[in-house]
Structure 1
Amino acid sequence: MSAPIKGNGRTLTVLSWNFERNGGNDAAKRRRAHETLVSLNPHLVLRQEMWGADANGNAIMYELEDVVGMRGWLGPRSCTAVFADPRVFRALREWPDTGPMWVLPPTALTMRYAPAGTDATPLVVASYHLNYASPTNRLAESEWLSTWADKKWTAPGGESVSMPALLGGDNNAYPDPDLDCDLALPELAEINDRPHRLHRSYVGPDGSRQMDTRPDQALRTAGLEDVARYWATARGGSKAAVSRTVNACQSHGPDSRIDRIYVTTDLLDAVTGVDVIEVPLDLSDHHIVRLSVDGDCLSDILHRRP
């Protein structure tokens, strides 16, 4: 079995991005978007809205693999995808059975961090997109998403160990408002589009409508942490970690941070930075969330045994 690579000072870059409608039918725009990703030197990319990538025998998916120079996995119904540098992350299995509630199914994989060697515990990686219109369905989807934080692996010694998880995507809901430096929740009346008021709120215990933070609460209850929240507080990072990922607009209300990356708490020690890369609105309606990870620390975490 291979030994872990130590002392190389590797910094890993993980990106999560909802690229609007995968560029539609505009091949030049699609290439420009993925060249933007390449410019950030990623090792792992979690993509949402992969519409049309399965057409003509997955031709667009193969096109995008070529642009980003990474291996790609396209999820059910071309809703999401994962791209990985095969020198760094290698797939050990796919999880095509995503549960019964998904409107836009995630792409979920068990992946080995190659520099850690084959004795290391793998991790679960998923790209997801929670439902746009139904807060009820969105909560159920987030509950199913938590099942990827509950996967086991049989270690070389025969013991069953829990795999860490890294999940990123478009939540279509807000982070819990108890973080002082985070963006404030919108007021329902600030959302001019009446259907969108429904889409982003739910009826609370007192019968009034509350802005929807329940997916964030569900994931954090399940032992997953919003890395931006973590970096902005526990590690003394800057407020840039909790920057907007969607711009304010007349119909949908103020700036919001609906795109997030979550990890199981065992991975938090490896986090070395979180920020948001803004892209022009003519490229996409969402910005890119960037997570930086210490590769040596990740390797150490994956070699721990309970």
Structure 2
Amino acid sequence: MAQLRFVCWNLEGNGAGDPEVRRAAAETLRRLQPDIVLRQEMFRADERGHTIFNEQCRELDMQGVLGPGACTAILFNPRRLNLVRDWSGDRGPHFVLPPTAITLKFPEAGPDASPFNVVSFHFAYASAEQRQLEAEWTTTWADKGWQAPDDSRHVLPAIYGGDANSYPEPGAPGDLPLPDLSAIQDRPHRLHRSRRGPDGVRVPDTEPDHTLRTAGLEDVARHLATAEGGDPAALARTVNSSASHGPDSRIDRVYVTAGLLPAVTGVEVHEVSLGVSDHHIPVVTMDSTVFADVLTGYPRTSART
């Protein structure tokens, strides 16, 4: 079965300015054989005319788009995917760390197949209210119109991945439990990852996940774990527990519009050492034939641009 592989990684500080860390990170990504890489914390990758970013693309033999402020990026395999549009500057004022959003074509699906949007996001670290605003605006890339060659219009399918700095809503058996806030020793962090509930008591922040799923985006790990014969390993941690920041958590997640779910064949989390990054790497695989079929048969409806 031919596959497409989507990799999502918040590489801490983009290697913290250390070329050796970046090279080790590139080797890790090469082993994962990605077709699309959704990156967060691309800090300083835009310096000296994108020198660092261009090097990171070359090391993976990929093309890429670096989003506003070198906060996020998307790299893609140019032998399988073609860049159609860069949307990254369209929603800048609403984000502390702006997302990267692009439209890609999958030539294997044929010339009449729908393109699809890809979004790399990194929601705000310190404010639940800001994350809520960012999540709401992020959903707009699941509502982008496209004019097909036959002049019909439809909403583009979309794939999202990033660091949500918040928790998934409960409800998936086997998912990591929400933290006991009183056990988080770092009081600012306790504030950053929570919000006031209706009774005035602070609760772990799950609103960004709720917002994305309300807009029709599905957490692929949750989908795969709850499907018949599902794989609970898809719900593995992406951030390790610590004395100051609380228990293991699934902060990094990949979402897709529901029409793409039939193509999803696997979700795994590739763990990396803390010397490289403080986040592990979710990897989503899709059956490329099913993915192509979905794009070819994507329903034509009215849509906003």
Alignment TM-score, normalising by the size of structure 1: 0.96
Alpha-carbon distance between aligned partners in 2 of 1:236 and 1:37, rounded to the nearest angstrom: 29
> Would you say the 8 A contact 1:29–1:283 is kept in 2?
yes
Letter in 2 for 1:100: P
Partner Cα distance (1:50, 1:276) in 2 = 21
Tell me the distance in 1 between the aligned counterparts of 2:122 and 2:8: 11
C-alpha separation in 2, matches of 1:210 and 1:228: 23
1:305 Cα deviation after fit: 4.2
Kindly indicate whether residue 97 of structure 2 is the aligned counterpart of residue 137 of structure 1: no
Q: Secondary structure at the match of 1:98?
A: helix
Provide the rounded CA distance (Å) in 1 between the counterparts of 2:293 and 2:241. Answer: 41
Report the Cα offset of residue 71 of structure 1: 0.3
Q: Answer yes or no: is 1:80 the counterpart of 2:66.
A: no
User: Quick check: 1:87–1:114 contact (8 Å CA) kept in 2?
Assistant: no
Q: Contact between 1:124 and 1:148, CA under 8 Å: does it hold in 2?
A: yes
Q: Superposition pairs for residues 1-306 of structure 1, below 5 Å?
A: 9-95=1-87, 96-306=89-299
Letter in 1 for 2:147: T
Q: Aligned partners of 2:103, 2:24: CA distance in 1, in Å? A: 30
Shift of residue 237, structure 1, vs aligned partner: 2.6
CA distance, structure 2, for counterparts of residue 99 and residue 146 of structure 1: 14
Contact 1:99 1:144 in 2 (8 A): no
Structure 1: gaps of 5 or more residues: 1-8
Deviation at 1:99, TM superposition (A): 4.4
**Contact 2:172–2:225 (CA under 8 A) maintained in structure 1:** no
SS in structure 2 opposite 1:198?
Answer: helix
Show CA shifts across 1:43-77 (max 9, x none): 00000000000011100001101111100110000
The one-letter code sitting in structure 2 at the alignment partner of 1:41 is Q
RMSD: 0.9
User: Are the equivalent residues in 1 in contact too, given 2:160–2:256 (CA < 8 A)?
Assistant: yes
Q: TM-score, normalised by structure 2?
A: 0.96
Give identity over the alignment, percent.
53
* Compared CA separation, residues 305 and 62, structure 1 to 2 (3 A): closer
Residue 236 of structure 1: how far off its partner (Å): 2.7
4+ runs deviating over 6 angstroms = none
Q: Distance in 2 between matches of 1:180 and 1:165?
A: 26
Structure-2 separation of matches of 1:99 and 1:46 = 18
> Residues 68 and 92 of structure 2 are in contact (CA less than 8 Å); yes or no, is this contact kept in structure 1?
no
Letter in 2 for 1:236: G
Structure 2 unaligned spans of 5+: 300-305
